[in-house]
A and B are shown apart, each in its own frame.
Chain A
Amino acid sequence: MIQLCSVEELTPGTVTRIARPDLPAPLALVKVGDRVFCIDDTCSHETASLSDGWLDGHEVECPLHESRFDVRTGRPDCPPARRSIRTHAVQLVDGIVYVEESSVAAEEPAR
């Protein structure tokens, strides 16, 4: 498990980017109600950082071209993004957010 941050660092209504040398890819964390969701931070369309985007309920809107991704499934709602982004299961232990190492391991882009 990789320790990401404390739950307290996550502000409701915002997307928090976590990019560190020990992470193969930048991640984005979202707190909705009591739950924390973790997705890849990079839009599946081009190279936008989703943490620069807008959060509306369970959807994050890409700041460049407006595709919205559901943080629960990673699916985009409309073009230009067509591919889902990866979602990662997190664990909360004593107020700390962890993510499975194998889940965030770098993968070749689908293209």
Chain B
Amino acid sequence: MSTIAVVGVGLAGVRAGEALRAQGHDGRLVMIGEEAVEPYDRPPLSKQVLLGTYEACDIALTDTASRAELDAEWLLGTRATAFDPVTRHLTLSDGQSLHAEGVVIATGARARTLSGVPELDSVHTLRTLDDARRLRDDLSRPGRVAVVGGGFIGAEVASAARALGHEVTIVEFEQMPLLRQLGSAAAGVLRRLHTDHGVALVTGVSVTGLVGRDRVQAVSLSDGRSLPADVVVVGIGAVPNTEWLAGSGVALDNGVLTDEWCRTTVPGVVAAGDVAAYRCRGGRRLRIEHWTNARDMPATAARSLLATLRGEDPVEQPAHDPLPYVWSDQYDSHLQIAGRPDADDALELVSGSFDSGFVAVYRRDGAVTGVLAVDSPKEFGRLRRELRGTWATR
């Protein structure tokens, strides 16, 4: 009876555990989670949890019935600190050693922080439930909020802070939010969403320092200006949690390198979710931090791992190569993006108008590379399906 350890119990870890059981693993299953709380879903952290409409129980990824079905040993509040590929022992933060024939790496990513600035109480990143609670507490008092980074997290936090009545400013390094990801036409739409809702944008600048003693008072900007702020939220991306794998033989390069079947360079070790930098068809490496990837990738990882443990060739199983999909709720608008457009791909309106709800497609050399929609879920769904068809056969 083999032991499989799932390291990390965010969405990818929980889905990996469920997939392992669904695909027939009847041995020991150990779920190792750094946080001492039951697994939870992250998208609501920057929305409903900040607004106070959801509590922890509303974002649980498991319940009594699903945990019973999973029949796993849970080591919560415990981190894996090392893995020895020869003895196949995981070292845990509480000093325990765990022998596992199979390992699923699902340690995700942590929020990137500003470097070279003092640590102040009212400066936040947002990645965990604890983060969200602390930020919610700070947002329960009146004050000026500065959001560093105009990406999805920044935009959603700005939106929530505004809804709570705060004066909000977004500081964005590019000239427009998500300019490098979505191009100027789409970034212009997002910029207008912010300004229409009374959120100020300071663009083309970076943060050079934070002013304050215990709590922040102002943000120093690269153009010499000082932006007064009582609360600062830093949303400048995420760093994959791979340090514990140093010396394990698991190849790393901005994440855990895997092939199309989620296999790492160590046999019997697979990776899934935000931490996995997988190779898709054509050899391109992708580390996707989208929720849907964390939901869907573990099925491939589990299939592949079980095949390896049975002595079969995982390559006969389906590879992981989905059409990327991400959504974001900002103010009262719902954004949906499918595919992998480049910022300089041509954006062509399919229906609606950039001033309100619309669906548009990105094209490169005539071929659709992505679909973008604001408040048009039905039409988006149709075009996403068409794109999925060409994606699968490209």
Contact = CB atoms under 8 A, between A and B. Distances in A.
Nearest to A66: B292
Nearest to A67: B295
Main secondary structure of the interface of B (DSSP, over half): helix
Q: Count chain B CB atoms within 10 A of each CB in A48, A49, A66, A111 and give the residue with the most.
A: A66
B43 interface: yes
B295 A79 contact: yes
Interface string B88-127: 0000000000000000000000000000000000000000
B225 interface: no
B41 A79 contact: yes
Interface in A25-68: 48-49, 52-54, 61, 63-66
Given A64-B334, A66-B292, A80-B43, A52 B381 contact: yes
Contacts of B41: 79-80
A53 B378 CA distance: 6
Contacts of B288: none
Interface residues of A, number: 15
B293 interface: no
A48 B295 CA distance: 19
Given A52-B377, A52-B378, A80-B291, 17 more contacts: A49-B377, A52-B381, A53-B378, A63-B378, A63-B380, A63-B381, A64-B327, A64-B334, A64-B336, A65-B291, A78-B295, A79-B11, A79-B15, A79-B41, A79-B295, A80-B43, A111-B58
Interface of B: 11, 15, 41, 43, 58, 61, 63, 291-292, 295, 325, 327, 334, 336, 377-378, 380-381, 385
19 contacts: A48-B377, A52-B377, A52-B378, A53-B381, A54-B381, A63-B377, A63-B381, A64-B327, A64-B334, A65-B327, A66-B292, A79-B15, A79-B41, A79-B61, A79-B295, A80-B41, A80-B43, A82-B63, A111-B58
